[in-house]
Amino acid sequence: MTTMRQLVGEVLRARRLAKGLTLRDVSAKARVSLGYISEVERGQKEPSSELLAALAAALDVPLSKVLLDVSSLMELEEAADLASVSSIAPGEVEASAA
């Protein structure tokens, strides 16, 4: 399962690229180091709520929309995980546990 910080990073990167912005552009607007934003986008750092707000503002998107996008991705991942678990026959679970 993908971590929440990875999903946040995916959403932020997708938003940035859709707007044609570079990491340098967002860094200047958000007043956050370029390296730190890069780590957030790669899912290596978990951003604080203040940092998320600054990045959303730099991307000219409401923070609520960023969080909604993350929530939608998480919902899709959870559904896929449930589907893969429900497709396993009971005998397969017992056999793999042995």
Q: Where are the domains of the chain?
A: 4-88
Residue 95: pLDDT band with limits 50, 70, 90:
low
Burial class of 11 by CB neighbour count within 10 A (0 to 12, 13 to 18, 19+): buried
CATH tag, 4-88: 1.10.260.40
pLDDT at 83: 78
Question: Are the C-beta atoms of 39 and 73 separated by less than 8 Å?
Answer: no
Question: Is residue 94's pLDDT more than 90?
Answer: no
d(CA 36, CA 47): 9
Q: 30-34 — which CB contacts under 8 Å span 24+ positions?
A: 30/54, 30/55, 30/57, 30/58
Which residue has tokens 């370029």? 34
Amino acid at 46: E
Question: Are the C-beta atoms of 12 and 57 separated by less than 8 Å?
Answer: no
Reading the block at residue 57, the tokens are 């503002």
Question: Is residue 81's pLDDT more than 90?
Answer: no
**Tens digit of pLDDT for each residue in 18-49?**
999 999 999 999 999 999 999 999 999 999 99
